Amino acid sequence: GQNIDQPTEMTATEGAIVQINCTYQTSGFNGLFWYQQHAGEAPTFLSYNVLDGLEEKGRFSSFLSRSKGYSYLLLKELQMKDSASYLCAVINSNYQLIWGAGTKLIIKP
Amino acid sequence: SAVISQKPSRDICQRGTSLTIQCQVDSQVTMMFWYRQQPGQSLTLIATANQGSEATYESGFVIDKFPISRPNLTFSTLTVSNMSPEDSSIYLCSVTQLAEIYNEQFFGPGTRLTVL
């Protein structure tokens, strides 16, 4: 089968750094997305990784290791508005997009 | 980017009835998708809406239950037929502006459906 694993929930403090991990087992790999979804809202695009390494975009960075089937999303200088679910999604060899269940991130003051 | 609207935003329906959800995009897009998302769960792709031809359904979803139309490059509908309480979910429309799946998807605000 195909599987995307993310922690269900994480808690962090405003101003701190948090790393959200995603591991995947899919039939092939053609890229990995991170999306942010605030409660009751639609997902919005954060990042796309297809090559190994770190992609930095402002306070958010995304890392990929294809050999390990692993990615993480790093959020720096956390703000209260970062409280949301973070969805990891992988494109497999059939160009299907497989979604993880998401990690609910709670930011405390 | 693309701005997407969905109608209705929410509805409460009786078992055995059908509901049609509309998805309107402010620009022409290549690919349109319909998803289902239950609380705390991942997005599940129902089908890809193809302009001018039948939709492509994912495993577990069939045209009789979820008929889809896409008459042009900016509009699509999803019908949830003969509804049961198990169909209660949020239904999301999404689009990509280019033909490849590895492009950013833009999502509509969703339709929250409750079936009694």
pLDDT single digits (tens) B100-114: 666 788 999 999 999
Given pLDDT bands bounded at 50, 70 and 90, which one contains residue A70? very high
pLDDT single digits (tens) B59-72: 999 999 999 999 99
Inter-chain CB proximity B102 and A101 less than 8 Å: no
Inter-chain CB proximity B107 and A44 less than 8 Å: yes
Closest partner CB to B43 (pick from A50, A96, A99):
A99
Instruction: Give residue A79's pLDDT.
Output: 97
For residue B43, the chain A residues in CB contact (below 8 A) are 43, 87, 89, 99
The contacts found for A6-11 with CB under 8 angstroms, 24 or more apart, are A6/A86, A6/A87, A6/A88, A6/A100, A6/A101, A6/A102, A6/A103, A7/A103, A8/A101, A8/A103, A8/A104, A8/B40, A9/A103, A9/A104, A9/A105, A9/A106, A10/A103, A10/A104, A10/A105, A10/A106, A11/A105, A11/A106, A11/A107, A11/A108
Residue A47 has pLDDT above 70, yes or no: yes
